[in-house]
Structure 1
Amino acid sequence: MEIMSPQNTRVKEWAGLQEKKHRDKARKYIVEGVHLVQEALLAEADVECLAYDLDKGMPAELKELLQSVQGMDVIGVSAAIISKCSSTNTPQPVFAIVRKEQQAVEAILAKKDSLVVVLDGVQDPGNVGTIIRSADAAGADGVILGQGCADLYNPKTIRSTMGSMFHLPVVEGDLSVILPQAREKGALLVSTSLQGEESCYEHDFHGSQWLLIGSEGKGISPETARLVDKSIIIPMAGRAESLNAAMAATILLFEGMRQRG
């Protein structure tokens, strides 16, 4: 199958997925580049179609994978279409349209001794994506995005996850509902604060731990702060006032991984 005109209605729908309102309405998102498309296919995400630059041909890394995938349109398109649907200045030669799948928070809540990252108002898509990638690297059981966070399906968030969004549950939800449920299941709700009671290296990361990360400017919201069981501090020897949210999350995750063996 081939589509050559950027004016094609289907192409207009794909290009629209760069905007949140269109993603929400269509319940789909766009994944760009060989690596991310590969990760989506390997994770058996609900891929509706895959479009590739006809002039460049199907990337070799995807050829084998495509033999095992059923029920997905594979469409050769023009460079103009690739460019119209891309969010970067140097467009990748392939993209996929993926249907959103509702990730249930129940799966995360049901895990015993879970290590979970909870984001509250982290607005930068690069930070949100990087935290998901760190959570995946540290073997965390899930990531929860509360209100005010960057959209998981923003192309920049997706790029920053480097495919990790397909490796562990990432749930968008209401923290005022989810956090009390986690606590009922025995989770300790831990946040970082410059007024923290204990260093993150002295804190015991065993058992079920939900790590709350807020925005750099404001930290976690007052509503979320009221639910916190313990706040810990990341000690710093230098003169920087604070750490970027993704760096703070990564330090806690890897200390948790180290302690939990």
Structure 2
Amino acid sequence: MPNFEGYISSASNPRVKEWAKLLDRKHRQREGKFLLEGVHLVKEALDSGWPLELVAFDEGSEVGALFEEYVVGNESGGPSWIPVSPDVIAKCTETETPQPIFAVAKKRPPNSKSLFETERALVAVLDGVQDPGNVGTIVRSAAACGASAVVLGKGTADLYNPKTIRATMGAVFHVPVLEADLTELLPEAKSSGAAVAGTSLQATQSCYDYDFRRNVWLVFGNEGSGLSTEVSRLVDHQMIIPMTGRAESLNVAMAATVLLFEAQRQRMI
């Protein structure tokens, strides 16, 4: 039988207050959970088999019909389905005009050790990338081109921030993403045979001449200041993205996307 629970109308309900706390990073870290907002993200999570604790939906909307197959097929141990009021939806979401559904998901961080066992790994590494939209876009691009993983270093926007999650468009469920101390993880990657590469406007080698078919970890730095001193010391190769038109530089998410898809192109040949 579908795991339905009783209707919750009040945004002051104790359970609702606990869900809303997941909008705060400290609470997400403490509970090991995060929020998913909207039809697309909830469907992506369900389709990928991501562990969901519950799905809350506006009983007065038509959204229930979109999820009928998931509810009917809900097995014991699956997420609880909880009809709620629009006030509850508004309390637990950040968008001005929220969609009538959200879910509480459980964190499922991957094991970094598995990356060192991947032959010809392609890893996107973010060092202090602060904008949630940029982080989410890079995760989306990494998933699209079949990257092995995305690593979030110190100072990078929280993966589980609702803005970051929305920017991934569900790609977060299809590529491993982990947080790590880059000054510890990158040397370990290098010792396992990985090349660490980055971009620089002063570099002489074009990204189109670089060999991405090897085990390579691509590092991308802060939007304003680039790579930190500690991480830049660990970079083996610097490359430049040729620009025949007129632009001072590319947004970090755009640069990451160019390199990741060039890596995909080379690996498909």
Alignment of 1:173-184 (within 5 A): 173-184=180-191
Between 123-132 and 97-106, the greater mean CA deviation after superposition = 97-106
Over 3 Å counting, the alpha-carbon distance change for 1:106 and 1:70 in structure 2 is farther
SS of equivalent to 2:212: coil
Deviation at 1:82, TM superposition (A): 0.6
Matched, 1:152 2:180: no
Deviation at 1:145, TM superposition (A): 0.4
Q: Distance in 2 between matches of 1:115 and 1:207?
A: 8
Instruction: Indicate if the aligned counterparts of 1:197 and 1:230 stay in contact, CA closer than 8 A.
Output: no
For structure 1, the 5+ residue unaligned runs are none
SS of equivalent to 2:23: coil
Q: Counterpart of 1:187?
A: 194
Pick one of 185, 204, 207 that aligns with 2:211. Answer: 204
Q: TM-score, normalised by structure 1?
A: 0.97
Deviation at 1:180, TM superposition (A): 1.0
Deviation at 1:121, TM superposition (A): 0.3
Pick one of 110, 122, 131 that aligns with 1:115. Answer: 122
Q: Distance in 2 between matches of 1:225 and 1:197?
A: 17
Q: Counterpart of 1:70?
A: 76
Letter in structure 1 aligned against 2:163: K
Matched, 1:28 2:33: yes
Between 169-178 and 20-29, the greater mean CA deviation after superposition = 20-29
Pick one of 37, 43, 54 that aligns with 1:38. Answer: 43
Deviation at 1:68, TM superposition (A): 3.8
Between 56-65 and 129-138, the greater mean CA deviation after superposition = 56-65
Pick one of 80, 88, 108 that aligns with 1:81. Answer: 88
Alignment of 1:227-238 (within 5 A): 227-238=234-245
Q: Distance in 1 between matches of 2:47 and 2:114?
A: 21
SS of equivalent to 1:50: strand
Per-residue CA distance 1:31-82 (angstroms, 9 max, x = gap): 0111100111122212111000010144333221231443221100001111
Letter in structure 1 aligned against 2:76: Q
Pick one of 39, 50, 56 that aligns with 1:51. Answer: 56
Between 119-128 and 63-72, the greater mean CA deviation after superposition = 63-72
Pick one of 213, 216, 241 that aligns with 2:248. Answer: 241
SS of equivalent to 1:64: helix
Q: Distance in 1 between matches of 2:135 and 2:75?
A: 30
Q: Distance in 2 between matches of 1:2 and 1:80?
A: 12
Per-residue CA distance 1:79-121 (angstroms, 9 max, x = gap): 1111111110111111000111232112222110011100000
Instruction: Indicate if the aligned counterparts of 2:11 and 2:88 stay in contact, CA closer than 8 A.
Output: yes
Pick one of 246, 262, 265 that aligns with 1:258. Answer: 265
Instruction: Indicate if the aligned counterparts of 2:7 and 2:83 stay in contact, CA closer than 8 A.
Output: yes
Matched, 1:97 2:104: yes
Between 151-160 and 193-202, the greater mean CA deviation after superposition = 193-202
Per-residue CA distance 1:220-242 (angstroms, 9 max, x = gap): 11100111110000111223211
Deviation at 1:15, TM superposition (A): 1.1
Deviation at 1:185, TM superposition (A): 1.4
Q: Counterpart of 2:135?
A: 128
SS of equivalent to 2:50: coil
For structure 2, the 5+ residue unaligned runs are 1-5
Q: Counterpart of 2:22?
A: 17
Q: Distance in 1 between matches of 2:49 and 2:238?
A: 38
Q: TM-score, normalised by structure 2?
A: 0.94
Between 179-188 and 52-61, the greater mean CA deviation after superposition = 52-61
Q: Distance in 1 between matches of 2:52 and 2:234?
A: 38
Q: Counterpart of 1:141?
A: 148
Q: Distance in 2 between matches of 1:69 and 1:63?
A: 13
Letter in structure 2 aligned against 1:26: E
Instruction: Indicate if the aligned counterparts of 1:3 and 1:76 stay in contact, CA closer than 8 A.
Output: yes
Over 3 Å counting, the alpha-carbon distance change for 1:187 and 1:91 in structure 2 is same
Between 135-144 and 235-244, the greater mean CA deviation after superposition = 235-244
